[in-house]
Amino acid sequence: MKRSILCAAGARPNFMKVGPVLDQIGRGGRLDGVLVHTGQHYDAGMSEAFFRDLGIREPDIHLGVGSLSPARQVARILELMEPVIARIRPACVLVVGDVNSTLACALAAVKGGVPLAHVEAGLRSRDRAMPEELNRILTDAASDLLFTTSPDADENLAAEGIPPEKIHRVGNVMIDSLRALEGAARASDILDRVGVRERGYALVTLHRPSNVDQEEDLRRIVEVLAETARRLPVVFPVHPRTRACLADRGMLAGLEAGSAIHIRPPEGYIDFLRMMMGARIVLTDSGGIQEETTVLGIPCLTMRQNTERPITISAGTNRLVGSDPRRVLDAVDQALAEPPAHPRIPDLWDGRAAGRIVEILERIYA
> Is 41 among the residues known to form the active site?
no
Quick one: which of 316, 317, 315 has its CA closest to 335?
317
**Residue 95: how many CB atoms within 10 A of its CB?**
34
Give burial (CB, 10 Å; 0-12/13-18/19+) of 341.
Answer: middle
Residues forming a β-bridge with 8: 36, 95
**Buried b / exposed e across 107-136, counting CB within 10 Å, b at 16+?**
bbbbebebbbbbbbbbbbbeeeebebbebb
Spatial contact of 5 and 31, defined as CB atoms under 8 Å apart: yes
165 burial via Cβ count (<10 Å: 0-12, 13-18, 19+): exposed
CA 186 to chain CA centroid, Å, is 21
Contact partners, residue 225, CB within 8 Å, separation at least 6: 204, 234, 236, 255, 261
Instruction: With both helix axes pointing from N to C terminus, report the angle between 353-365 and 12-28 in degrees, rounded to the nearest 10.
Output: 60
Q: 47-80 burial string, b = 16+ CB within 10 Å, else e?
A: bebbbebbebeebbbebebeeeeeeebbbbbbeb
Active-site option among 37, 41, 118, 207: 207
The size of the chain, in residues, is 366
Q: What are the residue numbers of the active site?
A: 207
